[in-house]
């Protein structure tokens, strides 16, 4: 099943069962942000598709946004914790072992940018999975990490949902 098909299937389920929207978005954002799993589950397409349901289908933005933000923040928090507990040897665990350049790139990124790098890293595909892990491996101070983690998760979730809503409005304007 392709990314497009998966996103469409999840969005159709959410459209038909809107009470499940926030928990589904939580799980998708958690998987998208969790080290190891995010490389296998690119959920951003489904999050944008669910965002398209916010305006036109009466899906409430606030619970879905909160679900996405909390899922993303908890995924990064767990990745940070894994980095602290397992340290540098975690780079040799699959699937990171198949992408040996990710941890050094994440390390260079975190060392160069520090706390703003945690915020920025959330918005760039492969870095999203590795930056929190690397922050844990190199023991970035907990509260600095969490500040950047939660603030970026709030912005990231709002951005994806709003992008989906905007795209659906543009399409609705072009093809009424």
Encode 155-169: b = buried (16+ Cβ within 10 Å), e = exposed. Answer: ebbebbbbebbeebe
Task: Please give the residue range of the domain that contains residue 105.
Answer: 3-174
Q: Could you read off the pLDDT of 55-97 as tens digits, one per residue?
A: 767 788 999 999 999 999 999 999 999 999 998 888 788 777 7
129 touches 35 (CB < 8 A): yes
Residue 87's H or E segment, with its range, is: none
DSSP state letter for 17: -
Cis peptide bond prior to 95, omega within 30° of 0: yes
Name the domain count of the chain: 1
HEC string of 112-176 equals HHCHHHHHHHCCCHHHHHHHHHHHHHCCCCHHHHHHHHHHHHHHHHHHHHHHHHHHHHHHHHHCC
Find, among 137, 80, 134, the residue nearest to 102 by Cα. Answer: 134
Please check the confidence at residue 23 and state whether its pLDDT lies above 90. yes
CA–CA separation, 106 and 118 (whole Å): 10
pTM of structure? 0.89
Q: Could you read off the pLDDT of 24-67 as tens digits, one per residue?
A: 999 999 999 998 787 677 688 888 889 888 876 778 899 999 99
22 touches 67 (CB < 8 A): yes
- The neighbour count for residue 7, using CB atoms within 10 Å, is 23
Please check the confidence at residue 120 and state whether its pLDDT lies above 80. yes
């Amino acid at each position: 099943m392709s990314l497009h098909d998966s996103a469409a299937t999840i969005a159709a389920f959410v459209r038909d069962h809107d009470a499940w929207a926030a928990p589904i978005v939580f799980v998708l954002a958690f998987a998208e942000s969790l080290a190891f799993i995010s490389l296998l589950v690119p959920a951003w397409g489904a999050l944008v598709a669910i965002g398209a349901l916010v305006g036109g289908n009466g899906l409430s933005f606030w619970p879905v946004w909160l679900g996405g933000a909390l899922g993303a923040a908890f995924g990064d928090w767990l990745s940070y914790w894994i980095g602290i507990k397992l340290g540098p040897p975690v780079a040799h665990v699959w699937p990171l072992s198949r992408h040996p350049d990710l941890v050094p790139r994440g390390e260079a990124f975190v060392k160069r940018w520090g706390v703003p790098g945690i915020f920025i890293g959330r918005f760039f595909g492969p870095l999203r999975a590795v930056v929190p892990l690397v922050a844990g491996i190199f023991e970035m101070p907990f509260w600095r990490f969490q500040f950047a983690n939660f603030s970026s998760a709030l912005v990231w979730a709002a951005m994806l949902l709003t992008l989906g809503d905007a795209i659906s409005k543009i399409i609705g304007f072009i093809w009424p």
